[in-house]
Amino acid sequence: MVLRTKPSRIRGWPLTVVLGTYAVAMCGTTMPTALYPMLQDEYGLSTAASTQLFAIYAIVVLAVLCIFGSLSDAIGRKPVMILGLLASAASGILYAMAAEAPMLFIARTLSGVCAGLVTGTATAYLTDLVSSSGRGASISSVANMVGLGSGPALAAFLTFFFPSVPMIAFSVHAVLSGLCIALLAMAPDSVMHRGHGLKLSLPLVPRVTLRDFCVGGLMTLGFAVMGGCTAMTSILVVRAFGITDLRLLGLIGSLIFVATAVGQKAGGKLVSEKIHLGYAGLAIGAVLIALAPRLGGSLAMAMYLAGLIVAGLSHGALFPVGLGIVLRRIEPRHRGSASSAFWVLGYALTALGALGLGWVGQISGESMAVTYFGAAIALCALGCAKLHRRWAGPGNRVISTSF
């Protein structure tokens, strides 16, 4: 197989289409976040089942990334993106038609298929188009977080204003996915390829870049926070803090994603030069999240929101730097596989955070589970900072890129 990227002149509207498509695909994956309390009541889901509904998505993403992570290197970026959007549209239709809980899990599974196909592929696609690993990592991570952040708010507001159609958000998203398919079909692919058949393989990185992968992989820790908080926030806010307004649940559900997107733009350059600041911020945010349920009244809610913001900002500053490190010495023919391998780490932590919170919450209650979770993340952040210093050297400047 010989694969090479096309010249960098194909930017402009194709870049906009890929960015928009990536954001729309990710938007659908977080739509259930603000609706978990409603889904619990409507379909009789326990707290553990609700977090499992979130976690099954991350598990499916992992499986798809592991099986098809290098697919776009073999057949091109655009076909894989279109397959992912077809899965997204099918997921939205099943959500809208769901009469029983098993249909929710099938719809969630298809949402995971979409994310697994699109995430690594879109990252490689955008990196091809801008011809820069740092710039590609930066804009792809922004598109990722903008999409993820818009999901809870869009679902909550559509459900609030159209209460007679509880699953209207998913129908709307299915239509948006269809429009993206049409636009993407008209955009040029970023790779030219020729080969003799398709050979699937695990998403791997070349041996010479394994050190880069390890250093960059440490910076995915914030995905555990995002997984846990996305699965639990709306339930915790309703059960422990007494907030039931669907619009507020949507905005709160989007908060950590918005903070992450802001952190990418506002803190990426600083953290690329002083990595320890990113880990310190993640630890502080996790401590605030851990302490919030132990307090009472409005102070508890304020501290929890502050923890989400600080953790989101820190995660947003860290993970695109890590992605840039992973891709900085990767040849185009390995780019799809390497970016998928990075996202495997991220989604593994996402699933672990969601499942861990759900299981502990079933035993000790949501509030105590959040406290344990925040304390564990804070300790892990300190450990990652120490490992980074050992692996990357005392200078801590590991990549120079544009944010």
Say if 199 falls within a structural domain: no
pLDDT given at position 201: 62
State the Cα–Cα distance between residues 32 and 51, nearest whole angstrom. Answer: 11
pLDDT given at position 309: 95
Token pair belonging to 264: 């990418």
Q: Which of 55, 4, 31, 25 is nearest to 234 (CA)?
A: 31
What are the φ/ψ torsions at residue 288 (nearest 5 degrees)? -60, -40
State the Cα–Cα distance between residues 158 and 166, nearest whole angstrom. Answer: 9
Spell out the alpha helix ranges (H) of 328-365: 332-364
Say if 1 falls within a structural domain: no
Say if 94 falls within a structural domain: yes
pLDDT given at position 38: 83
Contact indicator for 126, 136 with CB cutoff of 8 Å: yes
Say if 201 falls within a structural domain: no
pLDDT given at position 170: 94
State the Cα–Cα distance between residues 98 and 43, nearest whole angstrom. Answer: 10
Say if 198 falls within a structural domain: no
How many folded domains does the chain comprise?
A: 1
pLDDT given at position 401: 44
Residues of the chain with pLDDT under 50: 1-5, 7-10, 194-196, 395-396, 398-403
The domain of 104 spans: 11-190+207-392
How much is the pTM?
0.77
57: CATH: 1.20.1250.20
Say if 6 falls within a structural domain: no
Say if 227 falls within a structural domain: yes
State the Cα–Cα distance between residues 327 and 138, nearest whole angstrom. Answer: 12
Helix (H) or strand (E) holding 75: helix 71-75
Say if 195 falls within a structural domain: no
